[in-house]
Amino acid sequence: MKSFNRRSLLGAAAVGVPLAVAPALAGPASASPLSTHRGGRYLQEKNNCINFHIADFVAWNNRKWDMQAHYHASDVYVEMYGQATTTVDAHIAAMKDILVVYPEARIVQHYPNVVQGDWTATIGHYNLEGVNVCTVARHDRGQMVEEYLFTRLLADDEPDPYAKDEILVSITSPDSGLLQVAADVRPGWNVTIRGTQVGKRSATFTRREGGKVVERLRFAAV
């Protein structure tokens, strides 16, 4: 598998973006009640997931930067390519820099989709061979306020360099037939981010059936 090459990118994503100190973050997400009916967190989780679908499949794929601004807070905190930005303008500039090198880059699928409370996570599968990007995001009132992007898919036999680090956030999708129909959120998936420093984090997607791990995908920030 390959990933976007950070060193080949221009502008904010590759040169000149100052590292930012990560803001105070909430602890690992607490368990969400089962969203098996219209109530509880169902609407919140569904809307967050659909908003992220729109931000990728409509705004990103069609280069609609005003839509990106709509779905991100003005002071959104984003970690990407081992660096951090703290404004939506800087994040959009970084996205535009990707297109300098990969002008035809478009997302064709989100899978798996994981959602719990304020958080969503997905893997964006691109039309470029072997390119997959993991994004874990926190939402507030319809906008993304915090994002962590991981672009290097670890091979099955490659150790996770941050496997023993502290957990930054961990989310598990509820077992909800409504969420599966509305936003393709399938039960059994968990996503955990580990690491305490910008650029030194990993994300692991795990699917369990009957308590047994049946699928796992692991990413590193760079």
Span 171-207, pLDDT tens digits: 999 999 999 999 999 999 999 999 999 999 999 999 9
Span 18-68, pLDDT tens digits: 333 334 444 444 433 443 444 569 999 999 999 999 999 999 999 999 999
| CA-to-CA dists, residue 186 to 31, 111, 177, angstroms | 16, 10, 8
Q: What is the pLDDT at residue 37?
A: 44
Residue range 107-134: mean pLDDT, rounded: 97
CA-CA-CA-CA torsion sign (21, 25, 28, 31): negative
Pair 126, 143: CB distance under 8 Å: no
Mean pLDDT (the chain) is 87
Pair 198, 107: CB distance under 8 Å: no
Q: Where are the alpha helices (DSSP H) in the chain?
A: 42-54, 65-71, 88-101, 177-183
Q: What is the pLDDT at residue 10?
A: 32
Q: For the whole model, what pTM was predicted?
A: 0.84
Through-space distance between the first and last CA atoms of the chain, rounded to whole angstroms: 14
